[in-house]
Chain A
Amino acid sequence: MKISFLLHNAYGIGGTITTTFNLAQALAERHEVEIVSVLRHREHPNFTLDPRVSLRPLVDLRQDKEHPLYLKPARVFPRAEYRYGQYNELTDQRIAECLAATDADVVIGTRPGLNVHLALQAPPHVVRIGQEHLTLDNHPPRLRTALRRAYRGLDALTTVTEADAAAYRRKMRLPGVQVEALPNSVPDPALPAADGTAKVVVAAGRLVPVKRYDLLIEAFALVAAEHPDWQLRIYGKGEEHDRLRQLIADLGLWNNVFLMGAAAPMEAEWVKGSIGAAASNFEPFGMTIVEAMRCGLPVVSTDCPYGPGEIIEDGVDGRLVPVGDRDALGAALLGLVRDDERRHRAGRAALRNARRFAPGPVVEQAERLFAEAVTARRAGRPVVPDRTPVGGVLISQGFAARDAAYSAASSALRVVRRGQR
């Protein structure tokens, strides 16, 4: 197959870029694969791309900012999309041209706005796969309304969790569209796994409020009080840095908790620890949890929507605790800190259980899905027969009506606010 990924910006840093590169590289073993980057702002990507995967940009921000169409607002890319501000008539035009001319069998969109382009503009012979790396329930109602209409033009929609796939099936009527969870993959680690002896807990991610590093630091105070020889290392940078530094000072934890700065790749840092930790309020997938487990660390995480609960088996390869519960998080960490044998056992289980996120199994699933969609499209039939029960239609219509009402109410509010200025 010839497979083409449509990516917002392959030259940046982020989970969608990492996972797209991983999947593209793994598919390149057996297929012709390209990544089309809508935007480009520097010469080389931050992450090295396997030379078997070709990369081409559509709009180069270093030159195209002068283009007359660059200043006109986008008309195809949906207005309610998070990245709407970075799209314009030039991106509309270049994406449309790229899709019209594609010789790929399968084109894969990697964010809602690009999935909309794909659904509306891909030529009839091309299979359209939409990928959602965020979640339906967290999309604003106006975006959900736009996607509800457009996504019917896809052959398949992949989410990163089963929970999000279930939300799409329940709340959006997408007749004929295969909705399936396709988890992110993490490459096989190059270093030997952690041996579970280091007195170090490791966490990694952007230092932003939703990650709740404040909660993790407070929870670690319970560990440090009982085991002063243990440390917590937090890798990453972001807007919360100074506030977290102050919290460490206020709690007197400067001998135990360290803000390590950003590290990429993280692998050599995970293997210095023996427990991974995550305290997020919300995590569409939970890439760092999988990374830590693939390095042999059991992970203690909040059981937030949606990823952690589908990655960690509570009590086997890690722990799941209620969201926002400092004491539960601290107690779960202590449980693994106190008991060496339990920690070692959980670490071995993590290593074993996380193999399902290796590129191999994930790529096999993707290949099967793409092949089914190609066969169906060539035969002129949908990937899945429409068997939505009448009740299901009613439910999805209910959600559609609610989103439409929210959208209408919020635009009415905007009109009112504008009037008050």
Chain B
Amino acid sequence: MSTEHGTRPRVGCTVDTDGRISFDLPPGPDGEHAAQQLLLRLRPKKGQPEKTLHVLDLKPADGRLSAVLDPEPVLAEGRWDVYLLQGPDSERDRLRPGPRDLRALVDGHLRDRRSPLAVRIPYVTKDGYLAIRTWLRPAHAEAGRVDLTDRSLTVGARLHGAALEEGAVVLLRLRGAGGTEHTLEPRAEADGRGFSFTVGHEELAAATGVWDVFVQPAPEVPRVRVGRLLDDVADRKEVFVYPAATLGGAVLRPYFTVDNDLSVEVTKV
């Protein structure tokens, strides 16, 4: 049983391990011959015009309609809203979600990815519509275990689309002006992908604000953001919640941002 009243069709979707999304809709009122399409729209920033659209043909299959979004082309990073186009001249209808079969994504962190790293997670917006959260990054460091003691924070992570080389560093950068950075040496695993780092609370407690976490796999190459993108959780901030540590008058808490990137917040008591 679905959870929202409405006569508009609901679109179900299934994601496979390559990120391919198969959409499934009930047949339209006009039967199978109506030229229906799915429209994906990259949600523009407030006040900006929409620029990036992607259209998929709906094809009849087993008395229903289906469309497939293949892994290529990769989608720009952001949030994509999903609409039904009934015909060339008709209005577009924003679609509500049917079942979202995302089971193939749950252990996605176990598969090594190549560059660029493209991730898609269908989710339900706060107002009850289907949308797709996407990330597109040249390389990515997937955060794993986070361990917190009275004195330090230890994070395990794995690189995708890059490998650790001699001179690799982990960087914690304080957001905002000043460009304060802490540099740490990662403990690299033999395959050059897995690594971990430990940072003492006192190193971060000196300043209040938000420290964003990066890894620079080799000198002179771009830094890579540490985050957690490779499973089925589109909005991680309220689900993956870590406890706070206190040091003197400072409270430190590692957390995931609204973009599922890892940061450490420092506040004064």
Interface residues of A (CB under 8 A from B): 18, 21-22, 43-48, 187, 190-192, 194, 198-200, 228, 245, 249, 254-255, 258-261, 264-265, 267-268, 271-272
Contact = CB atoms under 8 A, between A and B. Distances in A.
13 contacts: A48-B1, A190-B12, A190-B99, A191-B101, A198-B103, A200-B106, A228-B145, A255-B146, A258-B239, A264-B3, A265-B2, A268-B99, A268-B102
B107 A199 contact: yes
B101 A249 contact: no
Interface string B214-249: 000000000000000000100000111111000000
Contacts of B242: 254
Nearest to A246: B243
Contact of B101 (A45, A264, A271): A271
B5 interface: yes
Contacts of A200: 106
A18 B2 CA distance: 10
B155 to A, nearest CB: 11
A28 B119 CA distance: 44
Given A18-B1, A249-B243, A254-B146, A267 B232 contact: no
A259 B102 contact: no
A260 B239 CA distance: 6
Given A191-B101, A199-B107, A272 B1 contact: no
B254 to A, nearest CB: 10
B4 interface: yes
B103 A254 contact: no
Tier of interface size on chain B: 20 to 34
A198 B145 contact: no
B100 interface: yes
Q: For chain A, what secondary structure do more than half of its interface residues adopt (helix, strand, loop), or is it mixed? A: loop
A46 B107 CA distance: 32
Given A21-B1, A249-B243, A260-B239, 6 more contacts: A47-B1, A48-B2, A187-B1, A191-B99, A254-B242, A265-B2
A-B pairs with the 8 shortest C-beta distances?
A44-B5, A249-B243, A264-B3, A48-B2, A272-B103, A268-B99, A255-B145, A268-B100
Interface of B: 1-6, 12, 98-103, 106-107, 145-147, 232, 238-243
B22 to A, nearest CB: 13
Nearest to A189: B99
A368 B54 CA distance: 54
A190 B146 CA distance: 36
Contacts of A199: 107
A254 B243 contact: yes
A272 B232 contact: yes
A401 B58 CA distance: 69
B98 to A, nearest CB: 8
Contacts of B5: 43-46, 48
Nearest to B110: A229
Contacts of B103: 194, 198, 271-272
Contacts of B146: 254-255
A205 to B, nearest CB: 16
A261 B1 contact: no
Nearest to A199: B107
B191 to A, nearest CB: 18
Nearest to B98: A190
A228 B107 CA distance: 14
Given A191-B99, A259-B239, A198 B106 contact: yes
A107 B28 CA distance: 37
Nearest to A228: B145
Contacts of A48: 1-6
A21 B1 CA distance: 9
B3 A47 contact: yes
Contacts of B1: 18, 21-22, 47-48, 187, 265
A259 B243 CA distance: 14
B127 to A, nearest CB: 15
A191 B100 CA distance: 9
A261 B3 contact: no
A261 B243 contact: no
Contacts of A192: 101
A245 B240 CA distance: 10
A186 to B, nearest CB: 10
Nearest to B3: A264
Contacts of B102: 268, 272
A45 B12 CA distance: 21
A177 to B, nearest CB: 31
**B3, B100, B232: most-surrounded residue (chain A CB, <10 A):** B3
Nearest to B103: A272
B122 to A, nearest CB: 10
